[in-house]
Structure 1
Amino acid sequence: MMTINPIKPLKGSELVMEQLKAKISSGEYAPGTKLASVVDLAASFQVGRSTIREALSALKAIGLVEIRQGGGTYVSAELPAETAGSDGSSLFASAQSIRELLEVRKVLETGCASLAARNRTEDDLRSIGEELALMEASLHDESKGEEADVRFHLKLAAATHNSLLIPMMESLSERLHDSMRESRKLWFYGERAEARRLLREHSDIYEAIAERDERRAFEAMRTHLQKVENVLRQAISEFDRSGA
C-alpha cells in the first residue's frame, strides 16, 4: 500500500520566501543585489507588509539576505555553500548540533541565575544592566545584540562569585556564542518574533537578580532557555517531517 504524506499548506510568507529564494538560487538576484523595498515587494506579491517582513526574516535566518537598518535588504555577498530548502533545512539541521549545548546551559545557567541573585554586588548588577541596555540599544543590529547577549550571560556567571562556575562558563564562551547566534536565528525563524521578546526575557532575569529573588531568577532563566529549546524541538520536528 502506497504511503501518502499529508501536505502542509504554506503560509503566504513561505510562498513569498520560496519565490525570492528561487530567484537568488538561479542567479537572477546576484550576491550583493539590493532587493525592492518592503512596500514595493508587498505591492508586487499583492500581500501585506508583515508577510514580506516574515519572508525576509526567514531568508536572513538561512543566510541568503542581509537586512541593513535604514539601508534596505541585500542578497548576501557570500551565499551558503548549500542553499537551504524552503523549510530552512540547513538551519533546522543546525538545531540538532546545538541541542546538547543547550542542555548544558540549562543545567549551568539556571544555577548561575539563582546564585547571582544571592551573591551579586551592586557593581555586578550595574555591569549586567549595561549589557541589557546594550541589547535594547541594538534591537536592530543583530551582531551587536548577539555580543551583548553573550556578555550578559557571562557577567551573570561572574556575579555568582563561585570560583568553579565562572571558569566553566568562560570555557564555554566560544561555543556559547555559537549557540546563541544559531538559537537566535531559529528563534526569529520559528517564532517570527522581534528582538524585543528576547529583551523581555533577559529583563525578567535581571529584575529577579536585582531583587535578590533566587527562585524567581532560577525560574526566569529556565523559562527563557525552555522557550529556546521549544523552538529547537519544533525546528527539528519540522525538519524530520519534511523527509530531508
Structure 2
Amino acid sequence: MHPIKVETEKGHEIVTRLILSQIEQGQIVPGQKLPSVVDLSISFGVGRSTIREALSALKAMGWVDVRHGGGTFVKKILPSDVQPGAGDPFLGAESVREILEVRKVLEVGTVALAADRRNKDDLNKLQTILTRMELAMINNDTYDGERADVEFHSAIAAASHNSLLIQLMDSLTQRLTETIGKTRELWFYEDKSSASRLLEEHKNIYEAIAHGDKSRAVELIEAHLTKVENVLNKRGGTSTTELERHGFYKK
C-alpha cells in the first residue's frame, strides 16, 4: 500500500483564500483599495513576503490591480462577474504561447546581431534599463519592472542596428507589454522564481552582449524565453483544477 501524501496549505495560499473569500462575500467591494502590505501583515499575523505572494497570486488570477505608487485595488469588474474561469491566470495561454514563439524566433536573431554590432551607447542604454529594473525590484514596483523588461528587449533589438528587425520589434511592443506582464506573473507564481533571479538573467544577457559572446547571448535568451513556455506546457489544461485544489478559484 502506497503512503498517502497529505499536502498542507502554505501561508500565502491561506491568505489568498481568505482575501478572496472577503471579496466574494462583499466584505471588500469592487474598486476598493486594500490595506497596505504592512497592515495586512499585522492583520493576518504573517510576514510581509507572505502578503506579497498572496497579492501576486490574486493579481495573476485577475482579482486585483497593483497600481504604480498607488497601492492594490480590487478589480471593478470581478472575474466571477464575467464568466466562469475568467480568474484563471492561464486562460488564453495559447495566445501567450504564440507570442513567446514569435519572440524566440525574433530575439534569437536580434541578440546575436547585438553581440556583434553593439556600441557604447547601446550598452549604456541597456545598463540604464538594468538599473531601473533593480530599483523596481527593491521598491517592489511591478509596473515599472514590467516596463523596464519590455524596454530591455527592445533595446537589444535596437543594438542589432537592423532597421527591419527594429520595426518588427516595435510592431510587437503592445503585445510584448501585455505578455511580459502575464508571463512574469506566471513565472513568479508558478515557478516560484524571484525578481532577483529574473534580474540576474537580464544582467547575464547584457554581459554576453557586452563581451561580444554571440553563442552565449543566444543560449541565454533562448533559456530565458523557454522557461515560461515550459510553465505553460506543464500547466496546460490543468490550471483551473489546480487552483481549485488550493482554494484559489471557484466555479
TM-score between both structures, scaled by the size of structure 1: 0.82
The answer to whether the 8 Å contact 1:89/1:239 transfers is no
Using the alignment, how far apart are the partners of 2:220 and 2:200 within structure 1? 10
Structure 2 equivalent of residue 157 of structure 1: 157
For residue 182 of structure 1, what is the amino acid of its counterpart? K
Deviation sequence 1:188-208 (CA, Å, 0-9, x none)? 221333322221111111010
Residue-pair matches, total: 237
Structure 2 equivalent of residue 3 of structure 1: none
Distance 1:84 1:203, change over 3 A: farther
For residue 215 of structure 2, what is the amino acid of its counterpart? R
For residue 197 of structure 1, what is the amino acid of its counterpart? R
Distance 1:46 1:135, change over 3 A: closer
Query: How big is the shift at 1:53?
Result: 3.2
Deviation sequence 1:135-174 (CA, Å, 0-9, x none)? 1122221111111111111110111112332222122111
- Are residues 1:65 and 2:64 paired? yes
Secondary structure (helix, strand or coil) at the match of 2:201 reads helix
Secondary structure (helix, strand or coil) at the match of 1:137 reads helix
Using the alignment, how far apart are the partners of 2:192 and 2:212 within structure 1? 33
The answer to whether the 8 Å contact 1:25/1:83 transfers is no
Structure 1 equivalent of residue 136 of structure 2: 138
Using the alignment, how far apart are the partners of 2:200 and 2:81 within structure 1? 33
Give 2:125's match in structure 1, choosing from 115, 124, 127: 127
Using the alignment, how far apart are the partners of 2:18 and 2:219 within structure 1? 42
Using the alignment, how far apart are the partners of 1:209 and 1:41 within structure 2? 43
- Are residues 1:102 and 2:100 paired? yes
Structure 1 equivalent of residue 247 of structure 2: none
The answer to whether the 8 Å contact 2:41/2:51 transfers is yes
Secondary structure (helix, strand or coil) at the match of 2:224 reads helix
Using the alignment, how far apart are the partners of 1:68 and 1:152 within structure 2? 21
- Are residues 1:20 and 2:15 paired? no
Query: How big is the shift at 1:14?
Result: 2.3
1:166-205 superposed matches below 5 A = 166-205=166-205
For residue 188 of structure 1, what is the amino acid of its counterpart? F
For residue 17 of structure 2, what is the amino acid of its counterpart? E
Using the alignment, how far apart are the partners of 2:158 and 2:17 within structure 1? 45
TM-score between both structures, scaled by the size of structure 2: 0.80
Secondary structure (helix, strand or coil) at the match of 1:91 reads coil
For residue 17 of structure 1, what is the amino acid of its counterpart? T
Query: How big is the shift at 1:8?
Result: 7.2
Using the alignment, how far apart are the partners of 2:10 and 2:86 within structure 1? 14
Stretches of structure 1 lacking an aligned partner (at least 5 in a row): 1-5
Using the alignment, how far apart are the partners of 1:227 and 1:92 within structure 2? 15
For residue 102 of structure 2, what is the amino acid of its counterpart? V
Identity in percent: 47
Secondary structure (helix, strand or coil) at the match of 1:179 reads helix
Using the alignment, how far apart are the partners of 1:84 and 1:37 within structure 2? 27
Secondary structure (helix, strand or coil) at the match of 1:90 reads coil
